[in-house]
Structure 1
Amino acid sequence: MAKLTPYLVSEDARAQADFYINALGGEIVSVMTHGQLPDASEAVKDKVLHMCLVAGGIHFFMSDSVYAPLNRGNGIQLSLEFPTEAEARDAFAKLGEGGTVRHPLEPAFWGALFGQIEDKYGVIWMITTEAQACQA
């Protein structure tokens, strides 16, 4: 069975990782820079080649965009489901700092809270809670 790990390419992977750790809790597990490559260019030696971090209990990989310009897009969104409303609201507020609310965090017709934000790095997050079973 395959394992999915989000891999985010960034203009500043260290700052973006710190932002996610502050918003969701976690830590940077490891960082490899371009300077660790055998024939590293002096111009990019401090740029992140590969980073592993845990934020919100989820493993992410990140790197700096070095050889090609970074183009923001809407082809992928990250969905975080929280067990409580308080956790969802906290993550929504923190990830939304400096970003844009695309859909406010509010009760959805399927019985959960749902909201959507684009963070200040252009990553689109869907924040939700577990759907509540229908009560008769």
Structure 2
Amino acid sequence: MAKLYPYLHSEDARAQAEFYTEALGGEILSVMTYGEMPGAKDESLKDKVLHLALVAAGVTIFLSDSFRPVHPGTNLNLSLEFADEEEARKAFANLAEGGTIGHPLEPAFWGTLFGQVTDKYGVLWMITTEASQAG
């Protein structure tokens, strides 16, 4: 059995990680910089994030700083399902700060709450609840 982890490339991985841990609740588990890499010679890269692991909303997410411009796309959404409507609404509102709402969080015809938001880093999120929480 495999595990799937979102791995996000960022223009500022530390700031993005802090945003997610505050918006969704969680913590940064580890940060490794390019300066820690054996044989690292470029002083300008020493503080750049090579690999960062965090847990937010109970999900492990990896990030790293990108050396080329980050261009958000529309071919991938991160979907978070909450058992509790209040948690879903809080996460949705927090992720929407500085971002854009594509679809408000509201009851969907299939029996759950559903909403889409693009956060201020360009990451697309789908927030849902379990069917019993569609109110």
Q: TM-score range by the shorter chain?
A: over 0.9
Q: Specify the alignment match of 1:19 in structure 2.
A: 19
Question: Identity over aligned residues, as a percent?
Answer: 66
CA deviation after TM superposition for structure 1 residue 111, in Å: 0.7
CA deviation after TM superposition for structure 1 residue 49, in Å: 0.3
Give the TM-score taking structure 2 as reference length.
0.94
CA deviation after TM superposition for structure 1 residue 95, in Å: 0.6
Give the secondary-structure state (helix, strand or coil) at the position aligned to 1:70.
coil
Q: Specify the alignment match of 2:71 in structure 1.
A: 71
Work out whether residues 114 and 127 of structure 1, in 8 Å CA contact, stay in contact via their aligned partners in 2: yes
Question: Structure 2: how far apart are the matches of 1:103 and 1:40?
Answer: 46
Q: Which amino acid letter does the alignment assign opposite residue 126 of structure 1?
A: M
CA deviation after TM superposition for structure 1 residue 132, in Å: 3.0
Question: Structure 1: how far apart are the matches of 2:42 and 2:12?
Answer: 18
CA deviation after TM superposition for structure 1 residue 77, in Å: 0.3
Question: In the alignment, is residue 85 of structure 1 matched against residue 85 of structure 2?
Answer: yes
Q: Specify the alignment match of 1:107 in structure 2.
A: 107
Q: Specify the alignment match of 1:118 in structure 2.
A: 118
Work out whether residues 31 and 51 of structure 1, in 8 Å CA contact, stay in contact via their aligned partners in 2: yes
CA deviation after TM superposition for structure 1 residue 108, in Å: 0.2
Work out whether residues 6 and 61 of structure 1, in 8 Å CA contact, stay in contact via their aligned partners in 2: yes
Give the secondary-structure state (helix, strand or coil) at the position aligned to 1:28.
strand
Gapped runs of 5+ residues in structure 2?
A: none
Give the TM-score taking structure 1 as reference length.
0.94
Question: Structure 2: how far apart are the matches of 1:116 and 1:39?
Answer: 41
CA deviation after TM superposition for structure 1 residue 8, in Å: 0.6
1:25-44 alignment, distance < 5 Å: 25-37=25-37, 38-44=39-45
Give the secondary-structure state (helix, strand or coil) at the position aligned to 1:132.
helix
Question: Structure 2: how far apart are the matches of 1:39 and 1:48?
Answer: 13
Q: List 4+ stretches of structure 1 deviating above 4 A.
A: none
Question: Structure 2: how far apart are the matches of 1:84 and 1:132?
Answer: 9
Q: Specify the alignment match of 1:4 in structure 2.
A: 4
